[in-house]
Chains A and B, each alone.
Chain A
């Protein structure tokens, strides 16, 4: 303990280097941004001992609360403690409100787009969205054509990743519409912070985040095909071996719902879904499914899926059960479709996008493809349908050999690839050994849509690349996270 204290030192923000990046806390002149002043002051006043202790308390809290995520390594499942940094990331309330508006607009357009694709495909007929793209989409589900989910909502829960570039402009990097995860960590990060620095919450006016589980439940309940006092809502998990299992449990627990596995459910002759309870079968109204489309129903999708429920799609298409997110919603989630979101917003809503897309080159277009191949060492190249940072090529950090392999893949299937300029992602002060140092960061807010109203989490999940200079923030690839504060500077 003593050694650690000696190694650690008090924080001197004047010594903190932003190194030409946009930093979330400290501006280019070395001054603390206004929404972070109280936070910076508080940390600067902590003694070296207090800092060491705070980090130990946070580690212990995470271990005791069992906040974990699962990684796969050579076939083994490893349950790792959640990597957490004690310096929160702050955003001013005013800025956040405008981000919220932009996110709501975006998700509204995405839902209209999905519904259109499964019905009249007007956006294709009007020449806005290329027909060829849809035909090649791996997430378009023929089985969903013509189905009308309640309130025409397909992507009830959306997790959009936001980043800032060198100028501080906020961009949407991608939208996760299949089974976005991370919200439980957003909530747990806050509870850890409350354990570690209870006094901070008295001093700074931080907007609360813990409304999410009840908002989620209300949204789910509103999707019930049997309007009644207490619809039976369940969370469907692939099981304890899934990397997001912690979150599945967490959300079921917070909402007071059953957490079910495929084998707990059965579709009977009446095409309704039931769960097997000790008193017999019990009807289920809404399934918040955390299983990918292809595993949902072995009768319709992968026939050897052990995770799903035979007949589930039948029950859903007859409107006897609500599936959240709806099967097929992932069609709007791939990185090529992403490039068309600004056009979608204009087409469906007649508005300009309020939140910018990162400029994206579509390899589908021969000219743009050519540009990507020529400039591959300067671009971030992404496959359309991977998540978790897999299959990504970061041009400036890649070897010649990696670039050539990537070019070969692009040429083989141009439709599957997009590229974006490498953004100078913003940094946020993060403990590196004994003092804070800038680490690249992103932010994943979650947007809930019921068709009647849309809600955005207060802030979201801040992820940081724990490795110096790294741009990869995914927890499966060594990223960590922080509590995210939306600070009301006007509140007294």
Chain B
């Protein structure tokens, strides 16, 4: 496996995972807003924070109206994490390794690109939005499914999985961070909506059903945080993702250092009683996790990606 190819596979998969996550995030926020009364609703602002683009957004926008925020999240050309930009980057990267990717997968990435680009109006309208986002999520699942079923599970596959899972862990931590901070929990009269918002957080991670199977019917703050951070069985929990990352790099050559950095992150995460973390402390801890994830990425790049010629 060429270093350049390994690196590109990692990014293709990471971009597609990101597009899928953003699509799911928008979809859930959309549903949440229908359930919340106007005065209580946090609108679209938190989504801009979750994907970490507030500064760039503020440069060209004065408010967080649905139209503006949505356009920015879906197709904003000045938003490197917009769905269209993620898919475009995935396609452009995939194009440089078309020889490695199974034909069907390339065709699916290519069609997804055209779909996102050609139907962007649908995504902005209230009626068309659900279908548009669903198609993106389905298509991402199909790409990962086809990869899983048709590409050799060799070193290249490790990089595909790694890119997808590190992005997933990153997104879970962001969603938890922002959503828990913007939840309105202090005032008595909004209590009934508290519940809805935690459910919405779970839904953003496709975790609602699995949460109930694992943690029971009642949705409570402490349980939700415990589940999305510490679950050993839910594939989007941060701990699950970290364990997965470790398992992936184990068979790679020269992986001692990166395994150690993942191990350290796992120990730190496992030993933390996340149930009791209140807003500020939770935020600080999530910051640490994000630094760990960045460190794991750098370790991978350092060891396996193509270095600029000396």
Residue positions of A touching B, CB distance < 8 A: 63-66, 235, 239-240, 245-246, 248-250, 252-253, 257-261, 263-264, 275-280
Contact = CB atoms under 8 A, between A and B. Distances in A.
B2 A253 contact: no
Interface stretch (B91-99, B124-132, B188-196, B209-217): B91-99
Given A66-B106, A253-B98, A261 B253 contact: no
B118 to A, nearest CB: 11
Interface in B107-135: 107, 110-111, 114
B309 interface: yes
Contacts of A278: 1-3, 6, 155, 252-253, 304
24 contacts: A63-B114, A64-B110, A65-B103, A66-B98, A66-B106, A235-B99, A239-B96, A240-B96, A245-B95, A246-B98, A249-B98, A250-B99, A253-B99, A253-B100, A264-B3, A264-B4, A278-B6, A278-B155, A278-B252, A278-B253, A278-B304, A279-B155, A279-B253, A280-B253
Q: Which of B92, B96, B107, B304 has the most CB of A within 10 A?
A: B96
A401 to B, nearest CB: 42
Nearest to A79: B95
B306 interface: yes
B2 A258 contact: yes
Given A276-B306, A279-B253, A260 B2 contact: yes
Given A261-B4, A276-B2, 10 more contacts: A63-B110, A63-B114, A64-B111, A66-B95, A66-B110, A235-B99, A246-B98, A259-B97, A277-B3, A278-B1
B163 to A, nearest CB: 14
- The size class of the interface chain B forms with chain A is 20 to 34
A250 B96 CA distance: 11
Nearest to A246: B98
Interface string B231-265: 00000000000000000000011000000000000
Contacts of B3: 264, 276-278
A259 B95 contact: no
Nearest to A265: B2
Q: 10 tightest CB-CB pairs across the interface, nearest first?
A: A252-B99, A249-B98, A253-B99, A259-B99, A278-B304, A66-B110, A249-B99, A240-B96, A278-B6, A276-B3
A64 B99 contact: no
A483 B114 CA distance: 26
A213 to B, nearest CB: 12
A280 B309 CA distance: 15
B75 to A, nearest CB: 19
B96 A277 contact: no
A277 B1 contact: yes
Contacts of A261: 4
Nearest to A234: B2
A65 to B, nearest CB: 6
Contacts of B4: 261, 263-264, 276
B47 to A, nearest CB: 32
Contacts of B309: 263
A32 B194 CA distance: 78
Contacts of B92: 240
A239 B253 CA distance: 28
Give the interface SS of chain A, mostly helix, strand, loop or mixed. mixed
Nearest to A276: B3
Q: Which of A66, A239, A252, A264 has the most CB of B within 10 A?
A: A66
Contacts of A239: 96
A68 to B, nearest CB: 9
Nearest to A258: B2
Contacts of B114: 63
B306 A264 contact: yes
A250 B98 CA distance: 7
Contacts of A279: 1, 155, 253
Contact of B107 (A66, A250, A253): A66
A183 to B, nearest CB: 15
Contacts of B100: 253, 259
Interface string B127-164: 00000000000000000000000000001000000000
Interface in B65-92: 92
Contacts of B103: 65, 253
Q: Which of B3, B100, B103 has the most CB of A within 10 A?
A: B3
B217 to A, nearest CB: 45
B2 A64 contact: no
Contacts of B6: 278
A191 to B, nearest CB: 10
A65 B107 contact: yes
A264 B2 CA distance: 7
Contacts of A257: 99
Q: Which of A250, A252, A275, A278 has the most CB of B within 10 A?
A: A278
A119 B107 CA distance: 49
Contacts of B252: 278
A276 B5 CA distance: 10
A119 to B, nearest CB: 36
Contacts of B99: 235, 248-250, 252-253, 257-259
Nearest to A251: B99
A337 B110 CA distance: 43
A63 B110 CA distance: 8
A63 B115 CA distance: 12
A176 B107 CA distance: 31
B120 to A, nearest CB: 18
Contacts of B1: 277-279
Nearest to B308: A263
Interface in B1-23: 1-6
B213 to A, nearest CB: 38
B279 to A, nearest CB: 42
Contacts of B96: 239-240
B40 to A, nearest CB: 45
B2 A275 contact: yes
Contacts of B98: 66, 246, 249-250, 253, 259
Q: Which of B2, B95, B110 has the most CB of A within 10 A?
A: B2
Contacts of B97: 249, 259
Interface string B152-183: 00010000000000000000000000000000
A65 B111 CA distance: 9
A245 to B, nearest CB: 8
Contact of B95 (A240, A275, A276): A240
Given A64-B110, A66-B106, A277 B2 contact: yes
A55 B149 CA distance: 33
A333 B87 CA distance: 42
A83 B309 CA distance: 39
B50 to A, nearest CB: 32
Contacts of A245: 95
A281 B138 CA distance: 39
Contact of A263 (B155, B253, B304, B306): B306
Contacts of A263: 4, 306, 309
A279 B2 CA distance: 9
Q: Which of A250, A253, A260 has the most CB of B within 10 A?
A: A253
Interface in B262-310: 304, 306, 309
Nearest to A275: B2
